[in-house]
Amino acid sequence: MNSMVDPLRGIQLLVVDHRSLICKGISSLLMAVPGVKVVEQANNRSQALGIVQTKPADVVLLDIDMPDSEAGICLIAELHLAYPSTRIVVLTNNQDASALRAALRAGALSYLLKSTSIEDLVRAIAAARDGVPTLSPEVTRAV
């Protein structure tokens, strides 16, 4: 993973997943990558919105599947509107074409499945910070 580290220097990341264990696990993996700073973790839409007001993030990594079925898409739209320079990367198990299209319409830059390798996730985060979208190969036909 060292060959991927340089693009991540100084990146500020917010991780959002309603499953606390998943959120902490993803955060731990990413904090082990030099140059990545996980500014905070959130388990729901309101926590995420409160955090970004005080701890700006370059990239928000979030799962669109939350207990309130529309919360993930609403969070993307709210973040995109209020913080247009913050890049939004969806990391989810949801392969549904309508969910992908809704996330991209709401303002997500990238859409990755949780089956993505850590190396590909790191590359996608670096690309997102630079405004370059990434889609998991399994969902590209849906676009």
Q: pTM of the predicted model, to two decimals?
A: 0.91
At 3-31, the pLDDT tens digits run 444 556 689 999 999 999 999 999 999 99
Alpha helices in 55-108 (DSSP H): 71-82, 97-106
Q: Which candidate, 115, 109, 117, places its Cα nearest to that of 135?
A: 109
Q: Residue 143's pLDDT is what?
A: 65
Contact 79, 51 (CB under 8 A): no
User: Which tens digits make up the pLDDT trace of 61-104?
Assistant: 999 998 876 789 999 999 999 999 999 999 999 999 999 999 99
HSE, CB side, 13 Å, CA atoms: give it for residue 79: 37
pLDDT digits (tens, 9 = 90+) for 36-64: 899 999 999 999 999 999 998 999 999 99
